[in-house]
């Protein structure tokens, strides 16, 4: 059995990663690293099993990489759904320090501890060449994490994430989510590639499992918004 380290476990996608991770037979240990005590809905899985979560709480995010390096034993797989927005961070520099800095240093620490698989939840349109801060930062993070050379690196680029957020992420983000919900399943869906956060969480866990068993043809895989939605349909067929 293997262990999984999850960053961003209290967010929209991260909560779903934890949910599906608990139900996965591939992981007997889920490690979460958060700024405050997580309030997960239940302490058992939907099948009635006891929780596998080990929660580490540390308000000072600058110490997270050190905490990850000191994990005994280290995690076999690492999933990051951690991130913020410019509005929530308060400034462009704070946004970069959080979205790029914490993510990169934490992934680097996980790699140093021997993690075989890294799954990064990025964003639709991410590119280091983008003129927009959010997309540019996401693209730079993708490039930096790929350069760490995990045995398997999977980049997920979902479009508008659908689901009930615990707190607002800014006017633009809130409206994008509303519009994404309206157009999901219509002819306009390809414009924003809306996807349920639960589906992204399920796909992230699936890729982490497959990386551990060497069931991936490529060491680096970038999955677009359209491809993610195709995978959702595949899961429904199964």
pLDDT, position 181: 43
* Structural element, H or E, at residue 200: helix 197-212
- Residue 235: Cβ within 10 Å count: 11
Instruction: Flag whether pLDDT at 46 surpasses 70.
Output: no
Cα–Cα distance measured from residue 232 to residue 198, given in angstroms and rounded to the nearest whole number: 10
pLDDT, position 45: 47
pLDDT, position 171: 43
Instruction: Flag whether pLDDT at 137 surpasses 90.
Output: yes
Alpha-carbon separation of residue 106 from 6, 67, 80, 198 (angstroms): 10, 9, 9, 24
Average pLDDT in the chain: 85
* Separation of CA 99 from chain center: 12
The per-residue pLDDT for range 90-100, each reduced to its tens digit, is 899 999 999 99
Query: 175: pLDDT confidence band, cut at 50, 70 and 90?
Result: very low
Considering only residues 42 and 149, tell me which one the structure prediction assigns the higher pLDDT: 149
Instruction: Flag whether pLDDT at 179 surpasses 50.
Output: no
Q: Minimal CA–CA distance to 81: which of 151, 1, 25, 165?
A: 165
Record: fold of 2-237: Rossmann fold (3.40.50)
pLDDT, position 182: 38
Q: Minimal CA–CA distance to 194: which of 236, 237, 232, 155?
A: 232
How large is the average pLDDT for residues 139-167?
90
How large is the average pLDDT for residues 199-212?
96
Q: What pTM did the predictor assign? A: 0.85
Instruction: Flag whether pLDDT at 30 surpasses 70.
Output: yes
């Amino acid at each position: 059995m293997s262990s999984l380290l999850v960053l961003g476990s209290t967010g929209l996608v991260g909560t779903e990663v934890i949910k599906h991770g608990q139900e996965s037979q591939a992981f007997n240990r889920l490690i979460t690293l958060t700024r405050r005590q997580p309030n997960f809905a239940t302490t058992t899985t939907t099948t009635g099993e006891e929780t596998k979560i080990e929660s580490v709480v540390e308000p000072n995010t600058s110490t997270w990489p050190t905490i990850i390096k000191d994990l005994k034993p280290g995690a076999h797989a690492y999933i990051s759904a951690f991130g913020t927005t410019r509005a929530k961070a308060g400034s462009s520099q704070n946004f970069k320090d959080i979205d790029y800095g914490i993510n990169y240093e934490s992934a680097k620490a996980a790699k140093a501890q021997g993690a075989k698989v890294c799954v990064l939840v990025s964003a639709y349109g991410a590119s280091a060449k983008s003129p927009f801060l959010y997309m540019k930062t996401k693209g730079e993070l993708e490039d930096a994490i790929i350069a760490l050379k995990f045995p398997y690196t999977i980049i997920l680029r979902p479009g508008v994430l659908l689901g009930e957020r615990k707190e607002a992420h800014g006017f633009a983000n809130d409206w994008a989510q509303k519009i994404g919900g309206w157009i999901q399943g219509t002819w306009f869906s390809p414009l924003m590639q809306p996807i349920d956060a639960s589906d992204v969480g399920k796909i992230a866990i699936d890729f982490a499992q497959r990386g551990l068993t060497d069931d991936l043809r490529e060491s680096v895989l970038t999955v677009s918004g359209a491809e993610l939605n195709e995978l959702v349909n595949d899961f429904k067929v199964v």
